[in-house]
Amino acid sequence: MNRVGIGYDIHRLVEGRRLLLGGVDIPHEKGLLGHSDADVLLHAVSDAILGALSHGDIGVYFPPDDEKYKDMQSSIILKKALSLAAQEGFHLVNIDCVIIAQKPVLSKYYKQIIDSLSGITGLLPSFISVKAKTNEGLDAIGRGEAIAAYAVVMMNK
Ligand code: MG
């Protein structure tokens, strides 16, 4: 049985925070604001997995107002989503994702991000696709005020 899930997330860019995308530290003058480490890509992938399982979203398992999750590594969120999937006999088949960021240029980090996602999920890198778009200068993302990510996953059991 196959199931498909989609995930989306957006976080504000602010000074004085790290920019983490897919578990990779990306040098930039701003970073993503959030209760956890604000890794927008890992949140989108985690939501896609939960979506494929019809299990709501990561806020169900990691409420943003819960102090114990403050500054938490988002790889923990992704691993929780994968363990919920495994409990139901599902494993991840592939991930395709899009990061929308006006700056910085992300193409040179694709390999690192794919390797990081591979390390967290156990998927072979050839089953993980990462690409980035600017927002053509439009709206908040285009003004460099936020970064968003979309992810689609296939799950199988
Ligand atoms: Mg988020």
Q: 75-93, pLDDT tens digit by residue?
A: 999 999 999 999 999 999 9
Which residues have their alpha-adjacent CB atom under 5 A from ion ligand 1? 9, 43
Calculate how far, in angstroms, residue 139's C-alpha sits from the geometric centre of ligand 1: 19
Calculate how far, in angstroms, residue 33's C-alpha sits from the geometric centre of ligand 1: 9
**% the chain with pLDDT above 90:** 91
Calculate how far, in angstroms, residue 69's C-alpha sits from the geometric centre of ligand 1: 12
**% the chain with pLDDT above 70:** 100
CA distances from 130 to 23, 114, 116, 117, 150 (A): 13, 7, 11, 10, 10
C-alpha to C-alpha distance for 135 and 97, rounded to whole angstroms? 16
**Residue 25: pLDDT band with limits 50, 70, 90:** very high
Calculate how far, in angstroms, residue 106's C-alpha sits from the geometric centre of ligand 1: 19
Calculate mean pLDDT across residues 42-60.
96
Tokens, residue 137: 């200068």
Calculate how far, in angstroms, residue 138's C-alpha sits from the geometric centre of ligand 1: 21
Q: Quickly list DSSP for 48-99.
A: HHHHHTT---HHHHS-TT-GGGTT--HHHHHHHHHHHHHHTT-EEEEEEEEE
Domains in the chain, please, with CATH?
2-156 (3.30.1330.50)
pLDDT the model gives residue 66: 84
Calculate how far, in angstroms, residue 40's C-alpha sits from the geometric centre of ligand 1: 5
Calculate how far, in angstroms, residue 129's C-alpha sits from the geometric centre of ligand 1: 20
